[in-house]
Amino acid sequence: MENTPNQTPGDDRVVSVREVGPRDGFQNEPETIATADKIELINELGRTGLTRIEVASFVRPDVIPQLSDGVEVLRGLDLPTDVERMVLIPNSKGLDNALQVRELFDAATLFVSASESHNKANINRTVRQTMDDVKAMGSRVVSEDIKFSAVIATSFGCPYEGKVPMERVLDLAEEFAAAGATELGFGDTTGMANPAYVSRFFSEANRRLPEVEVTAHFHNTRGQGLANAYAALEAGCRSFESSFGELGGCPVPKGSTGNIGSEDLVSMFHEMGVDTGIDLEVLIAAAQRVQDVLGRKLTSHSIVAGPVDWTGALMAANAG
């Protein structure tokens, strides 16, 4: 990557960015997006240099009708062979359904909330009931040679309970790792994280989970998403989730707005000299395309501003 004037010389850090908009983003839309549009948008994301995309969920259609066409979407995709196709699986029945089309995806995400109240509101089960089910599902996932990824929601705070102890979150993470998860995602589900706590959290997570890929998932509910991503990066995190156009948000409770925008996250990393392997201009074009599909403006900054134009700025300065 060519340095720009504000980059740190010699910064050779490399990060991985997973795009979750086609699942985490689309599920929160008030109207169902046409299957053909979903396929076109995901294929466009696959041409950005992204190597990991969460494309579908095997949740019950009556619970999240916006994702009821997951199998049709998976069947219609035309992605480069190096793009990992990930699906979210909420329970054993969902896993049964997913395994019927095992050839269509590469990785499965199983999840729990660290907060009892949020877990109950989200899937109507206790944390312990969920973990017992998840560990059994994890064994099946591993036996099918599927990548097992786990997500712990409300890792940085719960809208019902307030503070969620770090120890509780990391204990759950270690249970997942023992069950065979090779990646642990920590979700700031309703945007309650702050950079100082994020720094402490990921320093400890990396210490306690040395054999697991640790992933940060931040929401921009209170405008701190990119600051939190930067804090996680400085604490050693090298894996991030985000959503093009800043789509998404937690279905419960109300007011939990979207994930950090993928194009904003990638723009920040590139300006710092951090390599993502992603073509920012192509990614911005994909985010602009989803605006057309949804028929409304989205909230990410890079959709409006575009990439930083250092060449144009220098030419203008020299001309002056």
User: Sign of dihedral through CA atoms 278, 284, 288, 289?
Assistant: negative
Closest CA to 86 of 52, 38, 115, 114: 52
- Which alpha helices (H) appear in 86-239, and where do they start and end? 92-99, 116-123, 127-143, 166-178, 195-208, 225-234
Provide φ and ψ at 85, rounded to 5°: -95, 115
Asked if 180 and 213 touch (Cβ cutoff 8 Å), the reply is: no
Angle at 198 between CA 229 and CA 161, to 5 degrees: 120
Asked if 240 and 18 touch (Cβ cutoff 8 Å), the reply is: yes
| Cα–Cα distance measured from residue 190 to residue 257, given in angstroms and rounded to the nearest whole number | 7
Structure tokens at 150: 């786990």
Q: How many residues does this entry show for the chain?
A: 320
Asked if 222 and 191 touch (Cβ cutoff 8 Å), the reply is: yes
Closest CA to 284 of 297, 300, 260: 300
Q: At which residue do the structure tokens 């396929």 appear?
A: 39
Q: 178 vs 106, 112, 134, 163, CA distance in Å?
A: 21, 15, 12, 26
| DSSP SS3 for 54 | strand
| Cα–Cα distance measured from residue 156 to residue 152, given in angstroms and rounded to the nearest whole number | 10
| Cα–Cα distance measured from residue 283 to residue 141, given in angstroms and rounded to the nearest whole number | 31
- The residues annotated as belonging to the active site are 250
